[in-house]
Amino acid sequence: MLRRQDWGRIRDSELEKAQHCCAVCASPGPGLICHEQWAYDDDLKIATLSGLEVHCKRCDLVTHMGRAKAHNMWNQAVAQFCAINRVTPFHADTAYRDAIVLWKKRNLASWIVRVADVLLEHYPQLSILVELANRSDQPSKNCTNSHSGIRARCTSAAEAGGIISLTAGLKTCSTPPWTH
């Protein structure tokens, strides 16, 4: 696992780079969240932590619409999705349903987890994620977020507490099928 203090330094660095503004809607803090960006090779079953991005609380609701729904914040998530993408609630709901289908499909596979070289250059402490991913002969299956450990497994939305990441829709966001 990545130590809390290491994640805090990474988060602080990313907040500075983003000038303490949301990368999606440009709103300033407080309460900004450093979110992982993942790239997937669905053929080779490789999930790569490819970047980090700062989100405000409203855009984070969109990134995690399943969590928003579970916490009675669905309407706020849909409103933000629609405002950012200039679409109707129908489009937000369709994107959410499509994301769940993709999440369920990806959730059936075992994944090899990697960290992009550029991230390792900036944040060598992320190398622990590569080490954890390579400790087993088996690839990781549905990891949690990178700063809390990468070996956890969620096989259904119910096991994830209804938390589903929106993998499509929000401009400039790239979100993993496994969630926080």
Q: State the pLDDT confidence band at 14, using cuts at 50, 70 and 90.
A: very high
Q: Would residue 89 count as lying in a domain?
A: yes
pLDDT score of 62 more than 80? yes
Q: Work out the mean pLDDT of the chain and round it to a whole number.
A: 77
CA dist 93 and 99 (Å) reads 10
Q: Would residue 157 count as lying in a domain?
A: no
Model confidence pLDDT, tens digit, residues 134-154: 665 444 444 333 322 222 222
Provide the percentage of residues in the chain whose pLDDT is more than 70. 73
Q: Would residue 98 count as lying in a domain?
A: yes
| Claim: this prediction has a pTM higher than 0.75 | no
Name the residue range of residue 84's domain: 4-133
Collect contacts of 9-18 with beta carbons under 8 A, ≥24 apart.
Answer: 9/125, 10/34, 10/52, 10/123, 10/125, 10/126, 10/147, 13/122, 13/123, 14/52, 14/53, 14/54, 15/54, 17/54, 18/53, 18/54
pLDDT score of 58 more than 80? yes
Q: State the pLDDT confidence band at 160, using cuts at 50, 70 and 90.
A: very low
Q: Would residue 53 count as lying in a domain?
A: yes
Total domain count, the chain: 1
